[in-house]
Amino acid sequence: SSYNCIGNSCQSKGEYDRAIEHYEKALIINQKNENAKSPDVAMSYNQIGVCHNKVGNSDEAIASAEKALAINLKTLGPEHLKVAFNLNNIGLAYDNKRAYGKAIKHYKKALTIKLKTLGAEHFHIASSHHNIGEAYKNQEHYEKAVEHYEKALDINLKIHGTEHPSVPSGYHDIG
């Protein structure tokens, strides 16, 4: 819908509150015009959650992402990539709340699905390992953090080569 497009534009510009307004309008329309459990409704909830997380509204982010997750589990199944992205977004919100154990739990569930659907050498797998590493670092579990940072770096080196911007930051995370 046009509201989603405007929301996407606002989100791209960092205008998260405006983006939320437009995504919420799209959500209302999608709920009226479609099955309330449709993938479009889930997408609206997901985008609302992402924006809430960006402005520090972690509880709202979790609530929206969990609504998206419930719909996607029911309509797409437990091993769909969108389910992994919902789990990752919930993990990010828990990370922002400093609930690192819950974040890691969601990141690992997302990683399991991503590995099944994408294979081991994909940038989304590297991103998941990075997120897990960050949460472990924040818990001061440095050995586990380094383990995941190294996995992320290895994947990024394999798929991007040594000149990609993710590589220096990967070395920075480890060292």
DSSP per-residue codes, the chain: -HHHHHHHHHHHTT-HHHHHHHHHHHHHHHHHHS-TTSHHHHHHHHHHHHHHHHTT-HHHHHHHHHHHHHHHHHHH-TT-HHHHHHHHHHHHHHHHTT-HHHHHHHHHHHHHHHHHHH-SSSHHHHHHHHHHHHHHHHTT-HHHHHHHHHHHHHHHHHHH-TTSTHHHHHHHHH-
Instruction: Give the tens place of pLDDT for each residue, 97-124.
Output: 999 999 999 999 999 999 999 999 999 9
Do 23 and 3 touch, CB atoms closer than 8 A? yes
Structure-block tokens of residue 100? 């690192």
- How confident is the model over 13-30, as a mean pLDDT? 94
pLDDT given for residue 35 in this prediction: 67
**pLDDT for residue 1:** 73
160 in Cβ contact with 167 (< 8 Å): yes
List all residues 6 or more positions away from 100 whose beta carbon is below 8 Å from its beta carbon. Answer: 94, 135, 136, 138, 139
Count of C-beta atoms within a 10 Å radius of residue 124? 18
Span 65-95, pLDDT tens digits: 999 999 999 999 999 999 999 999 999 999 9
What dihedral do alpha carbons 63, 64, 69, 70 form, nearest 10°?
A: 70
Residue 54 CA to residue 39 CA, distance in Å, equals 23
